[in-house]
Chain A
């Protein structure tokens, strides 16, 4: 089985973001960048599926990891290779792309690679869109298992348990299929030093949107990015009695 995993280079989740003074966007200069946390879970799941298939004596699984973004996204691809992916593809694009443009580029990669399973994170923590996996599923015509907390491949189908508003739901999808990961799917491992060294020798192919024949034109335009309205400073109360009094008489919420 071949598994394609899509990853994104984003601002590290621990960084407190600052909006630029000219409201053109968020200041990313000299800020720590990392692999999107949901993408780490996607890589981990692919590696676990591969380990399971080796243990059960099935045909070896190949993991191809792909990122769409700037040249520097090679760092995140190398990280994924260090975690167990076999080879990497970077579709290089300096501009910021919408989810639809990314989905179209991934569709072109899927057409070339013909994976049985594509795993993505459920959302990127920068744009918070939660769109790409679903859009890729629409473009390929594959079934989608979004917000996955459990993935079980058997024969020519995959059972995906999904986190939904009231609890959990399980769906069965015909392969090939698209899966997007939720937080509780697994706990990603760390890359060991020997594996990081080995990852440097693994193949990394660089493509461009033009080479894939994909237009990345967009119908969305960001006009302005602002800091959210700040909450006015609160007060510290000394006792529960004082808290109840304030909630009843000052805030009038109970």
Chain B
């Protein structure tokens, strides 16, 4: 059995989610190869070669792969991946965009966002916004799977010494082109990788009030998230949204401030180790999943919390 893991990267840095995906591959067992598809991503390939447990890195360097356009990357992955037992990618926006296209090209069903490996062909994944867990078995010759990063502890980024092999294959479908991107800038840790997450909801009342959360987050070294209500109200940009349709997080500590706890939001954070809820409505559903609940006005409690930690 040989497993192909698709590296998540921006041509410069290997994203941490790749380490969680390699961890899932290690649970399946067998040789692990990593594919770096990009342009000028040599440093990413070198970083991938150092990941513990990786035996080979395939580096496909081509202008057509520069922005991970699925029309070009999927044929590459399907061509290389046909000889593997499993193809794995992190369930990031890139992984979700590319992998189903690969699966359809290989004429196999995909298994999305697995949270555990039961055996080489059987996996667990959440359905209905995390309100049920399905055990799914695949009879496909190549098993195409996306991995929910928070379901697997990352493998060590150092310790491996895999060979890097250049891949010449070039696919340019010519049906799509990259126009531009606007990335939100932040000095705080990345939401999905942070040990502590502080999130605000509709109860924050406006975007300016998020400064209280930023101050608390900076003191704790935490990332700041938000509920859909806060995003839809325009308080914060949408890449901060935690939930079924946003990011899935599972930090050591999740502090929910002014968040009622709708099913949609819980799906994105209920695997956090410790959940703290601060809400003035003691009937809010968030208190049903919170380890520690504080019924209080957040505008008094958050500054006080910032002072005491």
Interface pair B133/A226, CB less than 8 Å apart = yes
Chain B residue nearest to A127 in the complex (CB): B127
Min CB distance B138 to A, Å, is 6
A173 proximity list for chain B (CB < 8 A): 175-176
Interface pair B104/A135, CB less than 8 Å apart = yes
Docked pose: A227 CA to B120 CA in angstroms: 23
B305 proximity list for chain A (CB < 8 A): 240, 243-244
B92 contact from A103, A122, A165, A235, Cβ within 8 A: A165
Min CB distance B94 to A, Å, is 8
From B24-32, B45-53, B162-170, B293-301, give the one contacting chain A: B293-301
Docked pose: A246 CA to B255 CA in angstroms: 14
B245 proximity list for chain A (CB < 8 A): 122-123, 182-183
Q: Is A225 part of the binding interface, using a Cβ–Cβ cutoff of 8 Å?
A: yes
From B55-63, B81-89, B207-215, B273-281, give the one contacting chain A: B273-281
Chain B residue nearest to A173 in the complex (CB): B176
Interface pair A254/B196, CB less than 8 Å apart = yes
Docked pose: A221 CA to B208 CA in angstroms: 49
Q: Is A166 part of the binding interface, using a Cβ–Cβ cutoff of 8 Å?
A: yes
Interface pair B109/A99, CB less than 8 Å apart = yes
Interface pair B179/A172, CB less than 8 Å apart = yes
Q: Which of B172-219 contact A (CB under 8 A)?
A: 173-184, 192, 196
Q: Is B97 part of the binding interface, using a Cβ–Cβ cutoff of 8 Å?
A: yes
Min CB distance A100 to B, Å, is 5
Q: Is B283 part of the binding interface, using a Cβ–Cβ cutoff of 8 Å?
A: no
A243 contact from B108, B129, B276, Cβ within 8 A: B276
Q: Which of B42-79 contact A (CB under 8 A)?
A: 67, 69-71, 74
From A13-21, A78-86, A109-117, give the one contacting chain B: A13-21
A139 proximity list for chain B (CB < 8 A): 104
Docked pose: A100 CA to B99 CA in angstroms: 12
Interface pair B220/A100, CB less than 8 Å apart = no
Chain B residue nearest to A174 in the complex (CB): B175
Docked pose: A222 CA to B126 CA in angstroms: 12
- Classify chain B's interface size: 35 or more
Q: Is A194 part of the binding interface, using a Cβ–Cβ cutoff of 8 Å?
A: no
- As a 0/1 sequence over residues 97 to 115 of chain B, the CB contacts with chain A under 8 angstroms (1 = contact) are 1111111110111111100
Q: Is B130 part of the binding interface, using a Cβ–Cβ cutoff of 8 Å?
A: yes
A235 proximity list for chain B (CB < 8 A): 291-293
Interface pair B274/A251, CB less than 8 Å apart = yes
B137 proximity list for chain A (CB < 8 A): 220-223
Docked pose: A125 CA to B262 CA in angstroms: 14
Interface pair A234/B139, CB less than 8 Å apart = no
Min CB distance A14 to B, Å, is 8
A130 proximity list for chain B (CB < 8 A): 96, 100, 112
Q: Is A184 part of the binding interface, using a Cβ–Cβ cutoff of 8 Å?
A: yes
Interface pair A26/B104, CB less than 8 Å apart = no
Q: Is B270 part of the binding interface, using a Cβ–Cβ cutoff of 8 Å?
A: yes
B276 proximity list for chain A (CB < 8 A): 243, 247
Interface pair B253/A159, CB less than 8 Å apart = no
A227 proximity list for chain B (CB < 8 A): 131-133
Q: Is A58 part of the binding interface, using a Cβ–Cβ cutoff of 8 Å?
A: no
Interface pair B136/A26, CB less than 8 Å apart = no
Interface pair B136/A223, CB less than 8 Å apart = yes
B301 proximity list for chain A (CB < 8 A): 240
Q: Is B34 part of the binding interface, using a Cβ–Cβ cutoff of 8 Å?
A: no
B275 proximity list for chain A (CB < 8 A): 231, 234
Q: Is A228 part of the binding interface, using a Cβ–Cβ cutoff of 8 Å?
A: yes
Interface pair A164/B93, CB less than 8 Å apart = yes
Interface pair B308/A240, CB less than 8 Å apart = yes
Q: Is A143 part of the binding interface, using a Cβ–Cβ cutoff of 8 Å?
A: yes
Interface pair A172/B133, CB less than 8 Å apart = no
Interface pair B109/A98, CB less than 8 Å apart = yes
Min CB distance B222 to A, Å, is 9
Report which B residues bind A (CB closer than 8 A): 67, 69-71, 74, 92-94, 96-105, 107-113, 122, 126-140, 173-184, 192, 196, 220, 228, 231-232, 237-239, 244-245, 247, 252-253, 263-264, 270, 273-276, 282, 287, 289-296, 301, 304-305, 308-309
Name 11 extra pairs, CB < 8 A, besides A19-B132, A171-B69: A133-B100, A134-B101, A135-B101, A144-B71, A177-B175, A182-B245, A234-B292, A235-B291, A237-B294, A251-B292, A254-B253
Q: Which 5 A-B pairs have the closest CB atoms?
A: A134-B100, A138-B104, A135-B104, A143-B175, A219-B140
